[in-house]
Structure 1
Amino acid sequence: MAIVNVSDTSFKTEVEATGTVLVDFWAPWCGPCKMIAPILEELDKESTNLKIAKVNVDDNPESAARFGVMSIPTLIVFKDGQPVDKIVGFQSKEALKNVVSRHQ
């Protein structure tokens, strides 16, 4: 799967569906967000049953506010359209895999 960029208007269609979706709330000026991006690319290549979506908080403040995103990067795991886990700050690839695997 390819990582999808999600907007406030496409959030419901792209994220709140069936399956497991890892949503990265980020901004272009955020250093830790830039550090986690290649890790998400690797996870995307390795996972066949995980969708990864990115939400730019500067361009899509409604989605960020709706899920209480106060710091970035914030990653939220959605399972069948419902948020089930939240990770704030930079995390290693193994830590992200562990969190996601609990919900697949």
Structure 2
Amino acid sequence: MATVELTQQNLETTVTGSEIVLIDFWAGWCGPCRMFGPVYERASERHPDIVFGKVDTEAQPELAGAFRISSIPTLMAVRDRTVLYAQPGALPPQALEELIARIRSVDMDEARGGAVRTAGPR
């Protein structure tokens, strides 16, 4: 599955309509973002059951602000509308695969009982 451009118009329906959503906050002028892009795209092809979204922080400054994105690239992982991961920095392919495996293995009943944020602006 190819990556999906996320905007204010489709973010909520994408997150609420999908079990797992990875969100890459990026910008075209960002060197690490450009290096991470192909890694992210290849992962999207290996995991067609996951939505791989991209938020262009230049085109969607309101979304970047709502999520308090201060460094790019920032990768966010949402499962069942719960943010399980949100960290800046480009991941190498193996680290991205390990993150995906960890997100898949989370006991969501346990995660909801802990200090885990729900998806959406802070």
TM-score with structure 1 setting the length: 0.91
Structure 2 CA distance for aligned equivalents of residues 25 and 16 of structure 1: 19
Shift of 1:21: 0.7
Shift of 1:65: 1.6
Structure 1 CA distance for aligned equivalents of residues 2 and 18 of structure 2: 17
- Higher share in strand: 1
Deviations 1:3-29 (A, max 9, x none): 100112211112233311110000111
Q: Which has the higher contact order (CA 8 A, sep 6+)?
A: 1
> Aligned AA for 2:45?
K
Shift of 1:91: 1.1
Maintained 8 Å contact 1:16/1:78: no
> Aligned AA for 2:5?
N
TM-score with structure 2 setting the length: 0.79
> Aligned AA for 1:83?
V
Identity of aligned pairs, percent?
Answer: 34
- Structure 1 runs of 4+ aligned residues shifted over 2 Å read 15-18
Q: Which residue of 2 aligns with 1:17?
A: 17
Structure 1: runs of 5 or more not aligned? none
Q: Which residue of 2 aligns with 1:88?
A: 88
- 2:36 is aligned with 1:57: no
Number of residue pairs the alignment of both structures matches: 104
Deviations 1:27-47 (A, max 9, x none): 111100000011011101111
Structure 2: runs of 5 or more not aligned? 105-122
